[in-house]
Structure 1
């Protein structure tokens, strides 16, 4: 069975990291799978360093993954999936938090650097290329404390009120991409904006 691509949400496993900014990618994957009305099959793999689902979307078979290796080793899990299922790196879409983009915005691109993001750094290292797609989910810059504490902190109450809208939009962008409408997906993603939200 030929796989069209892999959608991977970046984040950290465990209850203590739920609803943190660093787990934005996990949250979008969860939202997309929830919208499939149980049509995604969980792929059980003993001691696999990830959670993995397979589903048919837009006439193609797609994999969805959440690495369980913690953020800075995400690439190990993704490389294992690509090797086992014979998926090419350029078909990967990584969803991740981005401090250089304000909360309420998101950007989509293919390739580029990692801007100090440990999850992206690990992906580039283990995939051997930066040429995969990214949906950069804005969380904004920290105010008054370090970046690590900020991204490992939970969304504010005001931000949480907007998360359903943001995740729906990210899911719609993903669906366009999976339909082969890459330019339309990127345009929609890059032009989307919520009203200014204070963290």
Structure 2
């Protein structure tokens, strides 16, 4: 079984914002694989189903971004999952242009507070993550204002392509093809 967690902020106020790319990827996967939301538990909204032949739980933490690790940790503990082999975390990244994705099997959180929370709560940085590009903040913009703002029309189209690619990458990872996904998506646009 895999836990696929997309980071974001709950509520209509945050729908379509740059910081909700993880939620967007979870929605894309849920639609593609007919995985309905089963409910709300352990600080997260989740759905259980299959991607290909693999059982998955799709999770949107409802703790707000900076406490995302609390919900992920609760699901990892409850289902007795090994983060290194059974967890995929999807989130936005300002260091990648909209439409680009990057897959890693471990690493630091960088400046991303949601990932800082996940790493802190799990006590490890050894888990697969899929970063979805949102582009760098413009000069003189506050970072929080930038990530909580919607995309302009052109960037939204690119970001939507990134969401679709990230969902495809997750499908490959869950299917045991992490290296293939990294080779395919990490090279694009390099």
Band the TM-score falls in, shorter-chain normalisation: over 0.9
Structure 1 position 12 matched with structure 2 position 6: no
Structure 1 position 33 matched with structure 2 position 30: yes
State the 1:45 CA deviation.
4.5
Residues 1:160 and 1:68: Cα distance change in structure 2 (over 3 Å):
same
State the 1:132 CA deviation.
0.9
Quick one: which of 156, 159, 164 aligns to 1:160?
156
Tell me the distance in 2 between the aligned counterparts of 1:161 and 1:44. Answer: 30
Structure 1 position 51 matched with structure 2 position 45: yes
| Unaligned ranges ≥5, structure 1 | 194-199
Tell me the distance in 2 between the aligned counterparts of 1:132 and 1:157. Answer: 33
Structure 1 position 141 matched with structure 2 position 136: yes
Tell me the distance in 2 between the aligned counterparts of 1:178 and 1:71. Answer: 24
Tell me the distance in 1 between the aligned counterparts of 2:2 and 2:48. Answer: 10
How many pairs align? 188
Q: Is the 8 A contact 2:99 2:161 kept in 1?
A: no
Structure 1 equivalent of residue 118 of structure 2: 123
Structure 2 equivalent of residue 197 of structure 1: none
Quick one: which of 53, 68, 78 aligns to 2:72?
78
Tell me the distance in 2 between the aligned counterparts of 1:164 and 1:98. Answer: 14
- Counterpart of 2:39 in 1: which secondary structure? coil
State the 1:92 CA deviation.
1.0
| Unaligned ranges ≥5, structure 2 | none
- Counterpart of 1:192 in 2: which secondary structure? coil
State the 1:57 CA deviation.
1.9
The equivalences for 1:55-70 within 5 A come to 55-70=49-64
Structure 2 equivalent of residue 114 of structure 1: 109
Tell me the distance in 1 between the aligned counterparts of 2:54 and 2:150. Answer: 35
State the 1:41 CA deviation.
4.6
Q: CA RMSD in A?
A: 1.6
